[in-house]
Amino acid sequence: MELSAVDVRVLGCLIEKEQTTPDQYPLTTNSLRLACNQKTNREPVVDFSEVVVDQAMLRLRQAGLARTVSSQGMRASKHRHVLDEALGLDREELAVLAVLMLRGPQTSGELRTRTDRAASFDSLADVESTLEGMATRTPDPLVRRLERRPGQKEERWLHILGDEQIDEALLDTAPPARSSGASPTAELTARVARLETDLAMLRGRFDELCQRLGVEPDDVPAATG
């Protein structure tokens, strides 16, 4: 699985918020942006725009790892991950991945502490057992053990879902860009992401209307003329 660093941050936030604030999940684009840009429990701290988040959601939907949902009562479409369905992961594995995706490499002890709101590990051995299982998955392992560096007392683990390096322009500490204009390619990608989101919302409302009328969506004739 080759996700960009931005995709990893967005996906990690969806997992985290589902587990820690279920009443506010799924997330609107703005809520997801705020989750990505949190000052705490994030490494590094970033400054994503809604366009960046929408672009990431487009890629995640295309990869089958997230969905955009809507209904007649929603004021805005909302986003959710389906990583557990796509990869067959349990709550503990998701919690571990979320911390690694949002905070970088971690020791087993750090993971046990930082997943306490999302999962329940009875011991450090339970964390290590979960990590070993994720590292030996076939054909696609999800995590890897890092060799202990000089001065480090414990080994650390990192996820291997994709890139870890976030573009400096998206970091919270980045200097102002020389030009405020977005490139034509970025603007086009953002427009496609917005259209995908709007289409998903309209599709959800259409399906809901068909359900209320007792007809199958495929049986509705296309408009002509």
Mean pLDDT, residues 196-205: 62
Show me where the domains of the chain are located: 5-170
Rounded CA gap, 197 and 60, in Å?
12
Rounded CA gap, 196 and 79, in Å?
12
Rounded CA gap, 166 and 44, in Å?
8
Q: What is the pTM of this model?
A: 0.78
E runs forming strands in the chain: 66-69, 78-81, 106-107, 143-146, 156-159
Rounded CA gap, 6 and 53, in Å?
8
Q: Is 81 helix (H, G, I), strand (E, B) or coil?
A: strand
Question: What fold is seen in the domain 5-170?
Answer: Arc Repressor Mutant, subunit A (1.10.10)
Q: Is 121 helix (H, G, I), strand (E, B) or coil?
A: coil
Helix (H) or strand (E) holding 44: none
Band of pLDDT at residue 179, cut at 50, 70 and 90:
very low
Cβ neighbours for 3, distance < 8 A, ≥ 6 positions apart: 11, 59, 60, 63, 161, 162, 163
Model confidence over 102-142: pLDDT tens digits? 999 999 999 999 999 999 899 999 999 999 999 999 999 99
Helix (H) or strand (E) holding 41: none
pLDDT of residue 200: 63
Mean pLDDT, residues 143-172: 90
Rounded CA gap, 55 and 66, in Å?
12
Q: Which long-range contacts (CB under 8 A, 24 or more apart) does 119-128 make?
A: 119/19, 119/91, 119/92, 119/94, 119/95, 120/92, 121/92, 126/92, 127/96
Percent of the chain whose pLDDT exceeds 70: 77
Q: Is 137 helix (H, G, I), strand (E, B) or coil?
A: coil
Both tokens assigned to 136 = 């030996």
Residue 159 · residue 97 · CB < 8 Å: yes
